[in-house]
Amino acid sequence: MRRWIIIVLLLAFVLWLLPYSVPLLLALATALLLEPSIRRLQENYRLKRVHAVTAIFTLFLVIVGFSLYFLIVILVQQVMALSQKLPYVFSEATKVLDELIQTWQSYSSSIPQEIIDSLERSVNTVQQMLLSFATNLTQSLVHYIAAIPAFFIHFLVYLVALFLICLDLPQLKQGIRRYLSERTHQRLSMVVSQLSKAGVGFIKAQFLFSLVTFFLALAGLLILGVDYAALMAFIIVVVDILPILGTGSVLVPWGIISIINGSTALGIGLIVLFVIITVVRRIIEPKVFSTNLGISPLAALVSVYLGFQILGLLGAFIGPVIVILVETLVKAGVIKWTIKL
């Protein structure tokens, strides 16, 4: 009884500490992903651990640094160009609004007062929604800008922790092994190994999906003649990565607004682009998941489909993860199927 109380208290303490340990947990996960490369470097070139870790860590920094640099340069260029055109966009929007008001005034004399009152209430409701959206968007931008210094601090902690964990990972594994029986250690090693492979595969799959979405969006926006196509394609990818949201959260409203404003070809093109991206994603998802996550194409298709039907877009990612976790636990003997018909 005392043993279970201690375990429960430790689990409660870990769960309480979890939100404050995100940089450290990300560093641990990254260290596990880099460990095979470090070992391979040690074995092939007979390097000491510290030299192999330094080499892989430096390569990791170079890749991340160059990726962030080019990403920031492109975004800054596109944002600056867009900011210069904003006054013209607002001027054109004002002209469209004035034309709508004049058209409304010309027709309002022949419309019953009840219908006019109902339409005006609807317009006021839409205005309040837009005002609330703009206010929330501004507050969110201010919040994210204010969080930039804290983000850099967390990122620095992540990098330092990553290097130290990579150095001490074998000792950490040995320390944990002392508290485990041989059978538990074998099962845990199998689970960690399978989940690490699945984690790397999942990251590869998401990266591939993001690349496909970006280039499809970029090509479509360039064909449609949209300004700042690279910036908009990047925004579409970012929104697509976020939970619950997807490419339709940007392309469909954008297309509808374009049609309302008279740009029918652009609006229809944006909606068609959304359909194309969605169809291509759904076609390649089972194959990509099966290749990178180590599950069969049928299991990948079923898990993606059922996850999407039950939980929406987020379920399309959670479904394969659950399948991988269950298969790993079955292989490790943690879950045993004893039912026979």
Q: How distant, in Å, are the alpha carbons of 72, 92, 215, 235, 328 from that of 86? A: 21, 10, 26, 17, 53
pLDDT, position 138? 61
The more confident residue out of 337 and 291 is 291
Give the per-residue SS3 of 145-189. Answer: HHCHHHHHHHHHHHHHHHHHHHHHHHHHHHHHHCCCCHHHHHHHH
Q: How confident is the model at residue 89 (pLDDT cuts 50, 70, 90)?
A: low
Q: Which of 147-156, 250-259, 263-272, 286-295 has the lowest mean pLDDT?
A: 286-295
pLDDT, position 83? 63
> What is the gyration radius of the CA atoms in the chain, in angstroms?
27
pLDDT in tens, 117-129: 676 677 667 667 6
Could you give the CA distance from residue 237 to residue 281 in angstroms, rounded to a whole number?
13
pLDDT in tens, 220-254: 999 998 877 888 888 888 778 765 567 877 888 88
Percent of the chain with pLDDT over 90: 17
pLDDT, position 227? 79
pTM for this entry: 0.62
Q: Which of 19-28, 62-71, 103-112, 255-264 has the lowest mean pLDDT?
A: 103-112
Rounded mean pLDDT of 305-330?
73
What are 209's two structure tokens?
A: 């999906």
Q: How confident is the model at residue 316 (pLDDT cuts 50, 70, 90)?
A: low
pLDDT, position 262? 79
The more confident residue out of 307 and 108 is 307
pLDDT in tens, 152-198: 888 899 999 999 999 999 998 888 877 777 777 777 777 777 777 77
Give me the chain's average pLDDT, please. Answer: 78
Q: How distant, in Å, are the alpha carbons of 11, 268, 307, 316 from that of 274? A: 44, 10, 21, 17
pLDDT, position 275? 92
Based on the number of CB atoms within 10 Å of its own CB, is 43 exposed (0-12), middle (13-18) or buried (19 or more)?
A: exposed
Domain ranges of the chain: 20-112+141-179, 185-334
pLDDT, position 283? 86
Could you give the CA distance from residue 189 to residue 304 in angstroms, rounded to a whole number?
27
pLDDT at 53 over 80: yes
- Residue 186 half-sphere exposure toward CB, CA atoms < 13 A: 5
Q: How distant, in Å, are the alpha carbons of 105, 129, 232, 262 from that of 99? A: 10, 22, 28, 12
The more confident residue out of 317 and 19 is 19
Percent of the chain with pLDDT over 70: 72
The more confident residue out of 328 and 269 is 269
